[in-house]
């Protein structure tokens, strides 16, 4: 099965995120995402995509429902600065070094290009107090209900597991800077058309088992060729 583009974008961005952290939270956050360009993913015609986001210390794992009973998974070790990409269909995995964080590169806009508005309006989502935040950029406006203490959310940047990540979205960069994790978000383009909707549907504060953060027994490690500073798709990596 060919992985849909939006799934490739989402999965690859998690695999290549370099600034993941959660100082206070260990557990699992289940997110539901829906976008107008998502095709129906099941027999009931539901276009939604579900994602389990596991956090434990400096470790993170993301399992993405790829449809038709398939799952994509990546494990990030921030101490080793490594990402492990699991390929369950082939019982294989690969390990890749994460790029060094850059203060200015990888953001959709500079602080002057993005308006971050804390409204002071609050709501409780799954037991967590959230504040309504509006993030406006040149081409997008996002209404976000963000919680503090759940770490830094990184997901919307494009990229490829074998190449380099693309810039993060404006709202994602702004939330990371201010320390909010989005438990509800609606993003619209400048015409007001909805681009993407996301909402947490479950939060489990139980510390995940250590076995989630290592390749399953029996999986074979495959090596990524050295392309001399080039990705296998012909673009030079930073």
DSSP string of 178-228, one letter each residue? HT-EEEEEEEEETTS-EEEEEEEEEEE-SPPPGGGGSPPTTPEE-PPPP-T
Rounded Cα distance between 121 and 134, Å, is 11
| pLDDT band at 150; cut points 50, 70, 90 | confident
Q: Considering the domain boundaries, does residue 24 fall inside one?
A: yes
Least confident of 155-159, 175-179, 206-210: 155-159
Q: Considering the domain boundaries, does residue 237 fall inside one?
A: no
Q: Which residue, 164, 160, 159, 122, is CA-closest to 144?
A: 122
| pLDDT band at 132; cut points 50, 70, 90 | very high
Q: Considering the domain boundaries, does residue 137 fall inside one?
A: yes
Top-confidence residue, 135 or 114: 135
pLDDT on residue 57? 86
Statement: residue 8 has pLDDT above 80? no
Work out the average pLDDT over 137-161. Answer: 70
Q: Considering the domain boundaries, does residue 231 fall inside one?
A: no
Work out the average pLDDT over 138-162. Answer: 69
11: tokens are: 């999965």
Top-confidence residue, 203 or 112: 203
Q: Tell me which range, 1-15, 46-60, 164-178, is most confidently predicted by mean pLDDT.
A: 46-60
Q: Considering the domain boundaries, does residue 120 fall inside one?
A: yes
Q: Considering the domain boundaries, does residue 235 fall inside one?
A: no
Q: Residue 9 sits in which domain range?
A: 5-221
Contact between 181 and 198 (Cβ < 8 Å): no
User: What proportion of the chain, given as a percentage, has pLDDT over 70?
Assistant: 63
pLDDT on residue 181? 86
pLDDT on residue 165? 44
pLDDT tens for residues 56-96? 988 889 898 877 777 888 998 888 888 899 988 889 999 98
Work out the average pLDDT over 93-121. Answer: 69
* Element at 231 (helix H, strand E): none
Domain total in the chain: 1
Least confident of 74-83, 94-103, 178-187, 203-212: 94-103
Q: Which residue, 95, 144, 86, is CA-closest to 116?
A: 144
Q: Which residue, 227, 213, 229, is CA-closest to 62?
A: 213
Q: Considering the domain boundaries, does residue 19 fall inside one?
A: yes
Burial of 58 (0-12, 13-18, 19+ CB in 10 A): middle
Q: Tell me which range, 46-60, 96-110, 191-205, is most confidently predicted by mean pLDDT.
A: 191-205
Scanning the structure block, which residue is given the tokens 């978000």? 185
Average pLDDT score, the chain: 74
Q: Considering the domain boundaries, does residue 234 fall inside one?
A: no
CATH number at residue 29: 2.50.20.10
């Amino acid at each position: 099965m060919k992985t849909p583009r939006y799934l490739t974008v989402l999965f690859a961005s998690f695999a290549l995120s370099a600034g993941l952290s959660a100082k206070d939270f260990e557990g699992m956050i289940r997110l539901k995402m829906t976008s107008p360009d998502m095709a129906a993913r099941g027999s009931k015609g539901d276009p939604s995509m579900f994602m389990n986001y596991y956090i434990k210390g400096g470790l993170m794992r993301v399992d993405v429902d790829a449809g038709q009973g398939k799952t994509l998974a990546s494990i990030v070790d921030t101490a080793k600065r490594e990402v492990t990409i699991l390929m369950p269909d082939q019982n294989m995995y690969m390990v890749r070094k994460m790029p060094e964080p850059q203060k200015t590169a990888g953001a959709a806009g500079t602080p002057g290009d993005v308006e971050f508005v804390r409204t002071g309006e609050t709501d409780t989502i799954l037991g967590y107090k959230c504040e309504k935040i509006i993030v406006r950029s040149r081409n997008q406006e996002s209404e976000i209900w963000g919680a503090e203490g759940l770490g830094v959310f990184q997901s919307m940047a494009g990229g490829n597991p074998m190449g380099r990540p693309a810039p993060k979205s404006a709202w994602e960069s702004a939330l990371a800077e201010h320390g909010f994790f989005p438990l509800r978000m609606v993003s619209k383009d400048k015409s007001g058309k909805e681009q993407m909707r996301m909402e947490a549907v479950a939060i489990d504060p139980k510390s995940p088992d250590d076995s989630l953060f290592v390749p399953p027994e029996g999986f074979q490690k495959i090596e990524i060729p050295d392309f001399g500073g080039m990705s296998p798709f012909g673009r030079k990596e930073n």
